[in-house]
Amino acid sequence: MNEEQKSLLISSSSHFLPPQGVRLSYGTAGFRADASLLSSTVYRMGILAALRSLKTQAVIGLMITASHNKISDNGVKIADPNGGMLSQHWEPFADALANAPSPQDLVQLINDFVKEGIPFNGVRPAEVILGRDTRPSGDALLKAAKEGIASIVGAIATDMGILTTPQLHWMVRARNMGMKASEEDYFEQLSSSFRCLMDLIPSEKSNRSGPNDKLVVDGANGVGGGNLEVLLKQLNGLSIEIRNYGEDGGVLNEGVGADFVQKEKVVPNGFDSKDVGIRCASLDGDADRLVYFSVTAESNGKIELVDGDKILSLFALFIREQLIILSEEEDAKNSRQAHLGVVQTAYANGASTNYLKQLGLEVNFTPTGVKYLHEKAAEFDIGIYFEANGHGTILFSEDFSGWLVAKTKELSSKSKGSELEKAALRLLAVNKLINQAVGDALSGLLLVEVILQHMGWSIHRWNELYHDLPSRQLKVKVADRTAVVTANAETVVVSPLGLQEAINAETAKHSQGRCFVRPSGTEDVVRVYAEASTQEAADSLANSVAKLVDQFLGCSS
């Protein structure tokens, strides 16, 4: 690093000193905190994004959002060249950068880090594209991010405006693949692939009518509702009503949104007994999560939740169906047995895992966190991952995508209109419709809608695929969450000694019992998850294990 660069960093960073007595950590979704604490952190993530661009010689993304958090919070996260999460190898540097106490410490930290081979004087300057959600704090934090990027000599910052988080990730991936990458390009890719899938629906199922045709979407008073409206103008065959835009005075994520609906299992604001029997869906504030629900006839706000596990099951069924058709090709030399894999975390309901295994699908588990799920899913020709909270996507390997393109061309010339060609075309359209950079509520919603029409299913038929086991989640405050160490995708406690054996003994007391504990990634608590054949048993198991955690670790004062 030359003296000009050092001087620029010291001068610029002196205006963005970190808040006293606060230490922030780059978690699964980047940094999140009360927006008033984040100017320094966002500025420094601008620096990190520019350095990451220099290191990778690629476009990097920086998104300012706190997703489903309350409106007074905000956050920042980095999108890597493939559109995915920041490389885990850079997370410790992100933590150190955010918490460096002075400009001099900051410069020394960067100087030591760039010895790893970051070309400050390379041919290609750093290039970062930025987006933000609708939070009122977003504009000021965007300016801080731009200041951080500008503190790296020659760096280019491009503000893409107010976006969903998945749009920003999609744009980064598209730019680095040499594709068109504007917001209009995003809408065009989703709408054209959706129309293709609609055209391929079997004729006997393409003219459904009645109340099951209507979808009502809760936009969480965030960015997703308006973007869905833009998308709908380019589509035919969907009857969608969008509520909770935020324009009617509703507050972002307050009593609305996918996180609220999934956790509370009640209707969001703006929904009531008039919606009984109608297919409904909720986005979260930045539109990277999606859950479906239906309002029950008993009113009182209760719902039948169709969560991320059921979305995964629907996607897996559809893709499995197309692969089975392709595998029946008469010319065995030209057929290919695609490796399809499903990825879940321990929080997936046990009934969903059993259902997927009964379909003959390969089910894999990873620790909690999208970065782990995404990495595992990328190992397959087609990898599907979802968390129960509604965040997930489908990944197609580059090799299999190339094979699909070639296959559709071959079948178009020799078997046009055949079921083989239609199956290949459907998979190719899914490949283009689904956002392969990150979970995307808008592309996910379109895929759900077209698959339901393809199957001829109502939301109620979909929800009957399997019945969730009753579950309970609790958290136990502890003095030091790091005292709990887990293995086997966080399902087994290896420290403190004896805790896992005690959990096993409690679990064995309950029919269909399953329980695990894991340290939180963001606060000093240990999370407890329990399942059993009845809600009473699940509650009892969770409470018993919470007491065990307290006994082995001691609660915090």
> Which range (44-58, 280-294, 298-312, 539-553) has the least confidence?
298-312
Question: 99 or 29: which carries more pLDDT confidence?
Answer: 99
pLDDT digits (tens, 9 = 90+) for 135-163: 999 999 999 999 999 999 999 999 999 99
Strands 471-477 and 525-531, by their bridges, are antiparallel
Please compute the mean of the pLDDT values over residues 311-337 and round it to a whole number: 86
Confidence of residue 335 (pLDDT cuts 50, 70, 90): low
Nearest one of 27, 20, 21 to 523, comparing CA atoms? 27
Amino acid (one-letter) located at 506: E
Q: Are 288 and 85 in contact (CB under 8 A)?
A: no
Q: Is the pLDDT assigned to residue 557 strictly greater than 50?
A: no
pLDDT digits (tens, 9 = 90+) for 325-334: 998 875 555 6
Q: Is the pLDDT assigned to residue 253 strictly greater than 90?
A: yes
pTM for the full model? 0.94
Confidence of residue 300 (pLDDT cuts 50, 70, 90): confident
Confidence of residue 56 (pLDDT cuts 50, 70, 90): very high
Residue 12 counted as an annotated binding residue: no
User: Choosing from 67, 191, 352, 471, which is the catalytic residue?
Assistant: 67
DSSP-derived 3-state class of residue 156: strand
DSSP-derived 3-state class of residue 197: helix
Q: How far apart are CA 312 and CA 226, in angstroms?
A: 26
Please compute the mean of the pLDDT values over residues 228-243 and round it to a whole number: 89
Confidence of residue 28 (pLDDT cuts 50, 70, 90): confident
Please compute the mean of the pLDDT values over residues 385-394 and round it to a whole number: 96
DSSP string, 476-508: EE-S-GGG-EEETTTTEEEESTTHHHHHHHHHT
Q: Are 59 and 159 in contact (CB under 8 A)?
A: no
Confidence of residue 521 (pLDDT cuts 50, 70, 90): confident
Please compute the mean of the pLDDT values over residues 259-284 and round it to a whole number: 94
pLDDT digits (tens, 9 = 90+) for 339-371: 999 999 999 999 999 999 999 999 999 999 898
> Which range (13-22, 35-44, 234-243) has the least confidence?
234-243
Q: How many residues in total does the chain contain?
A: 557
Confidence of residue 72 (pLDDT cuts 50, 70, 90): very high
Residue 518 counted as an annotated binding residue: yes
Residue 539 counted as an annotated binding residue: no
pLDDT digits (tens, 9 = 90+) for 464-509: 999 999 999 999 999 888 999 999 999 999 999 999 999 999 999 9
Q: Which domains does the chain have, with CATH numbers?
A: 3-162 (3.40.120.10), 309-439 (3.40.120), 471-553 (3.30.310.50)
pLDDT digits (tens, 9 = 90+) for 127-139: 999 999 999 999 9
The tokens of 251 are what? 């507050």
The tokens of 553 are what? 């670790």
Q: How far apart are CA 103 and CA 11, in angstroms?
A: 8
Q: Is the pLDDT assigned to residue 248 strictly greater than 90?
A: no
Q: How far apart are CA 4 and CA 60, in angstroms?
A: 24
Please compute the mean of the pLDDT values over residues 216-242 and round it to a whole number: 92
**What pLDDT is recorded for position 210?**
44
Q: Is the pLDDT assigned to residue 522 strictly greater than 70?
A: no
DSSP string, 16-35: -PPPTT-----BTTBEEEEG
pLDDT digits (tens, 9 = 90+) for 187-215: 999 999 999 999 999 987 655 544 457 89
**What pLDDT is recorded for position 452?**
96
Residue 521 counted as an annotated binding residue: yes
Question: 382 or 247: which carries more pLDDT confidence?
Answer: 382
Question: 143 or 123: which carries more pLDDT confidence?
Answer: 143
**What pLDDT is recorded for position 159?**
98
- Per-residue HEC secondary structure of 85-108 comes to ECCHHHHHHHHHHHHCCCHHHHHH
Q: Is the pLDDT assigned to residue 122 strictly greater than 70?
A: no
Q: How far apart are CA 357 and CA 354, in angstroms?
A: 5
67 has catalytic annotation: yes
Number of H helices, E strands in the chain: 18, 19
Nearest one of 176, 380, 146, 168 to 288, comparing CA atoms? 168
Residue 225 counted as an annotated binding residue: no
**What pLDDT is recorded for position 301?**
84
Residues of the chain with pLDDT > 90, as a percent, come to 83
Q: How far apart are CA 516 and CA 530, in angstroms?
A: 7
Greatest CA separation for the chain: 73
Please compute the mean of the pLDDT values over residues 274-297 and round it to a whole number: 95
Residue 175 counted as an annotated binding residue: no
Residue 367 counted as an annotated binding residue: no
Please compute the mean of the pLDDT values over residues 232-252 and round it to a whole number: 86
Q: How far apart are CA 412 and CA 200, in angstroms?
A: 14
Residue 207 counted as an annotated binding residue: no
Residue 161 counted as an annotated binding residue: no
Question: 336 or 9: which carries more pLDDT confidence?
Answer: 9
The tokens of 177 are what? 């693949």
DSSP string, 496-544: STTHHHHHHHHHTTSTT-EEEEEE-SSSSEEEEEEE-SSHHHHHHHHHH
DSSP-derived 3-state class of residue 212: helix
> Which range (179-193, 326-340, 447-461, 501-515) has the least confidence?
326-340
